[in-house]
């Protein structure tokens, strides 16, 4: 008996492995920062977010993807952390708080550092 095949709607995606960052011949875990915040208007938030790129880079944050919640499109999530201490300080900084206020973040953001 031959099974019917379904047409492919999406192309096959290949997930590439990410190598750990090496430091002094020891492997160091990659840390990610997940930011969950509600923004009042994504179109208002995005230009402020884009303009704040240099501050994120100085904090050791590298954006690989920018995700939006599928159910709540004004809830945004992003980062790979290159320097944990700088990233941690950045999440508590007045500079970030002020940028979020200008961008219309409507609640206190949640920051999660993940290994």
Domain ranges across the chain: 28-114
Backbone torsion region of residue 62, taken as left when φ is above 0, otherwise alpha when ψ lies between -120 and 50, otherwise beta: beta
Q: Does domain 28-114 have CATH number 3.30.70.100?
A: yes
18-27, 43-52, 88-97: range with lowest mean pLDDT: 18-27
Note whether 103 and 50 are within 8 A (CB).
no
3-state secondary structure 10-37: CCCCCCCCCCCEEECCEEECCEEEEEEE
Given a cut of 80, whether residue 2 has pLDDT beyond it is: no
Provide the pLDDT for residue 39: 86
The rounded distance, in Å, linking the Cα atoms of 84 and 106 is 26
Given a cut of 50, whether residue 6 has pLDDT beyond it is: no
Q: Express each pLDDT in 57-85 by its tens digit.
A: 999 999 887 888 788 777 776 788 999 99
């Amino acid at each position: 008996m031959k099974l019917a095949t379904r047409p492919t709607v999406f192309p096959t995606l290949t997930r590439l492995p990410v190598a750990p960052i090496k430091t002094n011949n020891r492997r160091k875990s990659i840390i990610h920062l997940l930011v969950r915040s509600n923004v009042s208007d994504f179109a208002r938030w995005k230009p402020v977010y884009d303009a704040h790129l240099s501050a994120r880079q100085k904090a050791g944050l590298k954006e690989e993807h920018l995700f939006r919640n599928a159910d709540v499109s004004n809830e945004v999530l992003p980062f790979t952390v290159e320097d944990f201490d700088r990233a941690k300080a950045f999440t508590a900084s007045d500079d970030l708080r002020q940028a979020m206020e200008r961008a219309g973040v409507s609640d206190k953001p949640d920051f999660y550092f993940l290994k």
